Structure 1
Amino acid sequence: MNLSTIKYFFKETFHALVRNSWLSLSSIGIVTVSLIILGASLLLVVNGEKLTNSVESSVEITAFLEEKVGKAERGTIEEKIKADPKVEAVEFIPKEQALQDMKKSFGDRAELLESMEESNPLPDSFRIKTKEANAVPVVAKALEKVEGVEQVRYGQGVVEKLLTITRWVRLASVVTLTLLTLAAGFLIATTIRMSVYARRREIGIMKTLGATNWFVRFPFVMEGIVLGLIGGLLAVLVVDLGYLSLIKKLQVSLPFIQLMNDQKTLLNILGSMIGLGVLIGALGSWFSLRRFLKV
């Protein structure tokens, strides 16, 4: 491919975009709207995953020890807990610390617990975190059989329901995102196919004059890339400004809701939107030309 051919392709692409301005604007609009919906859905999925992980990470097990357990036995119990490959961290909570934590949770009513200072009825305990949230019920059942452990609590019943909900949330997110991606691709490809169809005579004339398939196809593919790029950039601008504005508003009105604010993750999402726009634009043009290039 020589320089004059490359110049011709760029020239034809520019002229085609200007000459078919309404179709070009329509294609850009479809690309932009489709990618805005897709980008917003992707951000929703990412924030849903963040919330799910946050909820799962807060699930922990508390193993209360029998009053007769001494320091040596306590160490043995701790080693048994740590030996479980599903356990990530173990923290010993003496009954004095447990009482102080309870006072903090009572806030202004902490004086109600002052009578417990002399004869603290709370037991020593271990606070256990598992590597995966779905391992909590299994580890808890194993702890109940350990000698010296009087009682095990982990929110039995609630945790199982929580884990079921998080699994369904993840599945629904994947299915929704996949369907939206396919829908966006279909809409964009259909719009580009309409643009190609409107210029079928032009393609026929070029073929009659002896132009090769790739010579006919290349300007259209470049046109699709440009349309996808412009639509992707517009979608990124709208999604980025809208999302950052939403974060600022929530920080003022609902500070307890923490949305994903990692710049690297956000840039990856925005970059993938642009890349997807370019890819669908190129592939849409490429495949839409097949029926008109058949001899």
Structure 2
Amino acid sequence: MRAKYVMSEVFLGLWRNISMTVAMIITMAVSLTMLGAGLLLYNQVDVIEEYYQTNLEVVVYMQRDVTEEVSEKIGEELRASPYVKQAQYESQEEAYERFQETFAETKDLVDSVDPEVLPSAWRVEMHDINDADQLIADFAEREGVYQVTNQRDILQEVFDILGGAQRLTLVVALVQGVAALMLVANTIQVAAYSRRREVAIMKLVGAPNWFVQAPFVLEAVFAGVIGSIFAFATLIAAKFLVIDGQFSNLFSLMPPITMQSILILLPILTGISAVISAITAWITLRFNIKV
């Protein structure tokens, strides 16, 4: 009977303040969407770094006029190095084919490059990419070597940009979260004030505090949970319509965002919204409903 009464009061309270309820749900949905996007980006940066840590190479570019004997000698020394897992030779023709594949969408750039301009190279897979600096020091000054590059250094700027976007998204989510909490507190205050006579009567007949506060807390929790569901639906829509649709070409350069990583956000967002909404409502009521 008590449970039935509490639930009826919850839905009645939500309907009485429908405009505030809708505003609270929308604000929660926006803040949780930003939080979910931040968590996705945070996880994706780690996935990308792990992906490239296992696929990054050290590239030993040879001079264009290097002889075959010198190039083979460099290859033998690379294979003999304790830092090297595998060394594969790439001729000028193969380098040009790779260049064409990489910049296939910019035909003018491909047409402007002469195949003979691109140097041959040894592509080196390391046991540990952290040893790349030592390998570079060993081979940078060798005869016939034009340049030795570590792909991780080239991609470090990309990782820095992703890290900055990661932090920015979390900061925006935090600001949105504060706004959502303030709206939750304001909505609960309005609801408590509009039902102040009912609350006073319940207190006079000896109703315990938890029984009086339960409908208000559940209202906030309900709005938070609905907001988290909208946020989750927004993230799924963004994956299929934006990420997989507009940015699908990027997946040749980095691993895609998996559906599993988004699905796991539903319980996380729901739990966060429910707990924070309940705590905010309970603290607000402590100042509005006296024992």
Q: TM-score, normalised by structure 1?
A: 0.68
Query: Which structure 1 segments of 5+ residues have no match?
Result: 1-6, 83-89
Specify which of 133, 139, 142 is matched with residue 134 of structure 2.
142
On the 8 A contact 1:228/1:278 being kept in 2, the answer is: yes
Instruction: Kindly state the Cα deviation for residue 104 of structure 1 after the two structures are TM-superposed.
Output: 4.7
Shift of the 264–27 alpha-carbon distance from structure 1 to 2, 3 Å rule, reads farther
Instruction: Kindly state the Cα deviation for residue 152 of structure 1 after the two structures are TM-superposed.
Output: 1.1
Query: SS of 2:138's equivalent?
Result: coil
Instruction: Kindly state the Cα deviation for residue 33 of structure 1 after the two structures are TM-superposed.
Output: 0.8
In structure 2, how many angstroms separate the alpha carbons of the residues matched to 1:225 and 1:145? Answer: 60
List per-residue Cα deviations over 1:128-175 (Å, max 9, x = no partner): 46878xx5xxx5442232158543124798555444433323322332
In structure 1, how many angstroms separate the alpha carbons of the residues matched to 2:173 and 2:127? Answer: 30
Query: Which structure 2 segments of 5+ residues have no match?
Result: 63-69, 102-109
Instruction: Kindly state the Cα deviation for residue 213 of structure 1 after the two structures are TM-superposed.
Output: 1.8
2:149 aligns to what?
Answer: 153
1:69 aligns to what?
Answer: 73
Specify which of 237, 241, 244 is matched with residue 246 of structure 1.
241
1:280 aligns to what?
Answer: 276
Shift of the 177–91 alpha-carbon distance from structure 1 to 2, 3 Å rule, reads farther
Q: Does 1:125 align with 2:125?
A: no
Specify which of 11, 30, 35 is matched with residue 17 of structure 1.
11
Q: Could you tell me which amino acid in structure 2 is paired with residue 269 of structure 1?
A: L
Moved more, 26-35 or 122-131: 122-131
1:105 aligns to what?
Answer: 99
In structure 2, how many angstroms separate the alpha carbons of the residues matched to 1:21 and 1:187? Answer: 17
Matches within 5 A, 1:208-287: 208-237=204-233, 239=234, 242-243=237-238, 246-247=241-242, 251=245, 255-256=248-249, 261-287=257-283
Q: Could you tell me which amino acid in structure 2 is paired with residue 93 of structure 1?
A: Q
Shift of the 131–285 alpha-carbon distance from structure 1 to 2, 3 Å rule, reads farther
Instruction: Kindly state the Cα deviation for residue 34 of structure 1 after the two structures are TM-superposed.
Output: 1.7
Query: SS of 2:290's equivalent?
Result: coil
List per-residue Cα deviations over 1:11-54 (Å, max 9, x = no partner): 2431453266231x234313321233124324543258647965
Q: Could you tell me which amino acid in structure 1 is paired with residue 215 of structure 2?
A: P
Q: Could you tell me which amino acid in structure 1 is paired with residue 79 of structure 2?
A: G
Q: Could you tell me which amino acid in structure 2 is paired with residue 146 of structure 1?
A: D
1:38 aligns to what?
Answer: 31
Query: SS of 2:78's equivalent?
Result: helix
**CA RMSD of the aligned region, Å?**
4.1
Instruction: Kindly state the Cα deviation for residue 216 of structure 1 after the two structures are TM-superposed.
Output: 2.0
In structure 2, how many angstroms separate the alpha carbons of the residues matched to 1:123 and 1:244? Answer: 40
On the 8 A contact 1:221/1:282 being kept in 2, the answer is: yes
Q: What is the number of residues matched between the two proteins?
A: 264
In structure 2, how many angstroms separate the alpha carbons of the residues matched to 1:261 and 1:155? Answer: 23
